[in-house]
Amino acid sequence: MRVETNSTEVAIVHVPHNSQMKPLSSASLSAQPVFSVRRTTNQRGLVIALSLAASLIGSSALAQTANILNPKSDSPDELVKRKAQKKTDLSQKKTDKKIDPFAKFENLRPKGMWLGIPGPADTIDQDAGGVRSALADVGIGYVGWTQNSFANNLLPNAARSTIANQLYSGQNPTFNTVNYMWITYDLSRFGIPDGQIVVAAEQQYWTWKPGGPDRIGIDTISYYQTFFDRKLEFKIGYLPNQNEFAGTLVGGNAGASVFGPSANILYQGGMSNNPAPTPAVNLKFNVDDRLYDRVSFQRSISPDGQFAQLTQNPTGLDWSTPNAGMLLLNEIGYKEKAAVGVPDTWLRAGAGFNNSNYTNLQYPNQPRADENRFYYVAADTQLWQTAVQTSAARGIYGGFSVMYAPPDLNKVSEYYELRLYAKGLLDSRPRDQIAIVGTNTVWSHFAVDAAAAKGNLVHRESKAISATYTAHLAPGVYLNLGFSYIDHPTSITYTPQTGHALNFSASTAVFF
C-alpha cells in the first residue's frame, strides 16, 4: 500500500500471517494489492482531535467537581502566594532562633576597659522575672559579683603565728572577700556617641589586714563617650586605672583569673585600682582597629603604698592623700581579637611619671622631694586555636611581662613573668581555663642592704610558680583551684621557717 501525504508516498504491503518475507522487486511490488490511505490519514487526525477535546472536557469537569467539593480551593496565583508566605514564615522562624536574647543588654555593659566582666548571659539571675529588661528599657544596666578566696601554706614548720604577726598570705589560713556592684546608664539614647555613666561600689574584708585592709567605698564614678567615629575615647571621673592599663590578669577575665602579673610596681608608682580609685581623665586614641595610644592624667595614690592609701581614704571620695601628686600614664598597644585563622594578640608597653613626694631609700633621712617613674612591657598571643569555626578565642596562649622601677624609690624594683594558659581546651568544658605562671620579683638593693645592715636575714629575689584550674560551673559561677610554690614569700627579711611556702588556694566568683 502506498500512502501519499502531500508529496510523500508511503508503501504499505499486506503480508499473510506466518508467511516468509522475501525481497520484493519493483515488479512484484507493483503486482501486490495497493490501497490509498489518504482518507485513512484524515480519519486518524479526526480521532486524535476528538480524543484531545474529550480529555480537556474531562479535566475541566474534574476541576469543577473538585471546586464544588472544596469551595476554599486556591487559584494558581493564590497557591504561589501561599508558598511564598510559607517560605517567608520559615525564614523568619530561623532568624528568630538566631537572635541573641541578651544582645539588647550589650550597650549597657561597662565600656572602655580591658577587663572582661561577664555579660548578663553569664550571670546567675540572667533576666529572671524580666527585671533586667525592665531596667534596660529605661537605660539602666547592672552587674555585681562576689569573689571569695582562701590560701594556706601546706608545708610543715611554716612558723604559724597570730594573725597580727602574719608576714604573708597563707602563712596562717587566710581568707578574704571582695564584693562589687556596678550600675550603668546609657547616654547614647540621647544622641551621645557610646555615652555612658557608671557608678560602682566595692567592699572587702581580709583576715590578714595588710592584704587589704577592710574598706567599703566607691569603685568607680565615671562618664564615658567617643568622638570622631570612635577614633577617640574619653573617660573622666574617679577611676580604677588598674582596669584600663597594663592588663594584669591572666586571660583578662574577672571570673577566670586569680594569679597574674604583680601589680606592686604599678601601685608603688601611683596607679589607682579597684579599692583605691582616684580622680582621672583618660584618653584613648585608636589609630585603627588594632593600634592605639592610651593616656591618663590621674591623681596618684599615696606614695607610701596601697595600705596607707586605704587607711587614709577608705571611701575613696577624698580628692587626694598626704604627699600624693599627679601621675601621667601612657600606654601604646596593638590588640587583635581572635578570628578564623587569626590568633588573639595583645602587645603593650607603658610608662608612668609621678610628681608625688617619695621617700628616697638610698637616703631615707632626707626630706621627701623625689619624683617617681615606672615602665612595663607585656605580650600575650594565641599559640594554637582549638575550635576555629565555633569559638576562635579557644586555644593555648603564651605571654610575658617585664616591669621596672628605680630602686632608690621603690621596694620592688624589677618584676618578670612567663605564662602559659589555655582557654576552653576541652570541648566538654569550653569556658574553663588552665594556667601555669612563673614569676620573679627583685627587691630594691638599697632596701635589702639597709635591712642586712640591721642583722636581718634578707633575700634579694622572690621566685614563684603557680598552677591553677578555673572551672565554669554554671552561668555566673566560677571555681578556681591552684597551688603556688614560693621561694621567700616574705618581703625582704625572713626567718628559716618562712623561707618557703606551698600555698593551696581556692576561690569562687559569682556574678549576678
Strand pairing of 196-206 and 174-186? antiparallel
> Rounded to whole angstroms, how far apart are CA atoms 302 and 312?
9
Query: What are the tens digits of pLDDT across the range 439-471?
Result: 999 999 999 999 999 999 999 999 999 999 999
Does residue 84 form part of some domain? no
Would you say 419 and 346 are in contact if contact means Cβ atoms under 8 Å apart? no
Q: What is the pLDDT of residue 433?
A: 96
- Cell numbers at residue 7, please? 508529496
Note whether residue 9 is domain-resident.
no
Tell me how crowded residue 288 is: count the other CB atoms within 10 A of its CB: 8
| Residue 4, in any domain of the structure | no
* Res 20 pLDDT > 60: no
- Identity of residue 367: P
CATH code of the domain containing 483: 2.40.160.180
State what percent of residues in the chain have pLDDT above 90.
71
Residue 237 lies in a domain: yes
Range of the domain at 328: 103-511
Residue 33 has pLDDT above 90, yes or no: no
Q: Which residue has the cell 530561623?
A: 94
For the whole model, what pTM was predicted? 0.80
Kind and range of the H or E element at 47? Answer: helix 38-69
Q: What pLDDT shows up at residue 81?
A: 57
Has residue 175 been placed in a domain?
Answer: yes
Q: Give a yes or no: residue 345 inside a domain.
A: yes
pLDDT band (50, 70, 90) for residue 230:
very high
Please report, rounded to a whole number, the percentage of residues in the chain having pLDDT higher than 70: 79
SS3 per-residue string spanning 65-133: HHHHHCCCCCCHHHHHHHHHHHHHHHHHHHHHHHCCCCHHHHHHCCCCCCCECCCHHHCCCCCHHHHHH
- Rounded-to-integer distance, Cα 211 and Cα 205, Å: 9
64: left (phi over 0), alpha (psi -120 to 50) or beta: alpha
Inside any domain, residue 142: yes
Q: What is the pLDDT of residues 383-430, one digit of tens each?
A: 999 988 889 999 999 999 999 999 999 999 999 999 999 999 999 999
- For residue 262, what pLDDT band results from cuts at 50, 70 and 90? low
Tens-digit pLDDT profile for residues 61-96 = 334 433 434 444 455 566 555 655 655 555 555 544
pLDDT recorded at residue 87: 56
Pick left, alpha or beta for residue 92 (phi over 0 → left; psi -120 to 50 → alpha; otherwise beta).
alpha
Indicate whether 473 belongs to any domain: yes
Q: Where are the alpha helices (DSSP H) in 138-289?
A: 264-268
Domain count, the chain: 1
